[in-house]
Structure 1
Amino acid sequence: MQNLVTVAAEPASQNPLIPALYDIGWSALCLVIILLVVWRFALPRVTKMLDERSAAIEGNIEKADAAQKEAEAVLTEYNKQLADARREAGEIRESAHGDGKKIVAEAKAQATAEAERVMTSAQTQIEAERQSAMVSLRTEVGGIALDLAGNVIGESLSDDQKAQSVVDRFLADLEASEKAAK
């Protein structure tokens, strides 16, 4: 302890901001040892890690570029398929429109043919009914005419052949006068 007291009692001739020469030496030696350890062990590991990271980033960039090129190719193919699908849809729409016109034309033709058939059938039926009505009317008019003629003459016209010829003559005269009036 005496040494301490003597050291403390000596006047300070050195500047406290400037270290002693032996401190600078030992500090320099420690610094060199630390730099050698860092340069020998830590620096290669850090360099290796940075190189690996750089390679991984470059690999990811290359993968991203390849993926982007592939995505662009897929997009181009998709746009081409979309254009083809739109064109095909247009063709189908036009075809369907043409088919629709054909179907409408066929339906009109069938409807016209059916209307003609119905009209012909109706005309035939009307003509048959008119003939039937004429026959029925001739019979009734003939019977009435015979009754009237019998009442006028005062005799019964019972001879069917004779009565029929009188009725036919009477109706022929009526038709002739009717045609002359037109």
Structure 2
Amino acid sequence: MKAILLAAAAEGEEPNPLIPHLPEIIWGLIFFVALVALMTKYVVPNFEKAYAARTAEIEGGIEEAQAAQNEAQAALEKYTAQLAEARHEAAAIREEAREQGAQIVVEMREQAQAESQRILSAAQAQIAAERQQAIAQLKSEVGGMATELAARIVGETLADTDAQRRSVQRFMDELEGSAN
């Protein structure tokens, strides 16, 4: 290069502006080496520290995220277990309610049957009492008519009520005996 500069100077021509002078190249190399040395000594370690801090922060964030994910998984499993237990309890409660409902229906049926049996017994007793009353009334009326008819046939009055009653009772007993 020096040769080119000297040749250019010898010819009387101006030096080429594209080709730098030798002292500029030397000073440029010295400043470049100094800049690289300063960068390596001061700037790069700061970049390394920042990079290490960022890496540690990211790894810490990843660990925290893993821990949070593990906690969330544990909570999900716990929630799933509680949900399954709640469903099981709900099914047990429904089954118990169904059984109680069936038991109540059976009890109500038994009560209804007992009530209907009581009503039927009371009705039968009332019918029997009314039948007895009707028979007694019919006996009395038949006895009165028979006495009246006998009085017309005989032509005299049967005024003795005790005798009249005994005659009617005997007649009714005979009728009942022949009907059976």
- Note the alpha carbon deviations across 1:64-114, whole angstroms, 9 max, x for none: 111111122222222222222223333333333332332222222222222
The one-letter code sitting in structure 1 at the alignment partner of 2:116 is: A
> 1-side partners of 2:175 and 2:57: how far apart?
121
The alignment's TM-score, normalised by the length of structure 2, stands at 0.81
> 1-side partners of 2:155 and 2:126: how far apart?
42
> 1-side partners of 2:20 and 2:139: how far apart?
160
1:80 corresponds to which residue? 81
Shift of 1:38: 2.6
Instruction: Structure 1: give runs of 5+ residues left out of the alignment.
Output: 1-6
2:5 corresponds to which residue? none
2:156 corresponds to which residue? 155
2:53 corresponds to which residue? 52
2:13 corresponds to which residue? 11
Moved more, 158-167 or 169-178: 169-178
1:33 corresponds to which residue? 34
> 2-side partners of 1:102 and 1:86: how far apart?
24
Q: Secondary structure at the match of 1:155?
A: coil
2:6 corresponds to which residue? none
2:134 corresponds to which residue? 133
Q: Give the share of equivalent positions with the same residue, in percent.
A: 44
1:23 corresponds to which residue? 24
RMSD, aligned CA = 2.2
Aligned length: 170
The alignment's TM-score, normalised by the length of structure 1, stands at 0.80
Q: Secondary structure at the match of 1:174?
A: helix
Q: Secondary structure at the match of 1:158?
A: coil
Shift of 1:54: 0.8
Shift of 1:155: 2.1
Shift of 1:145: 2.1
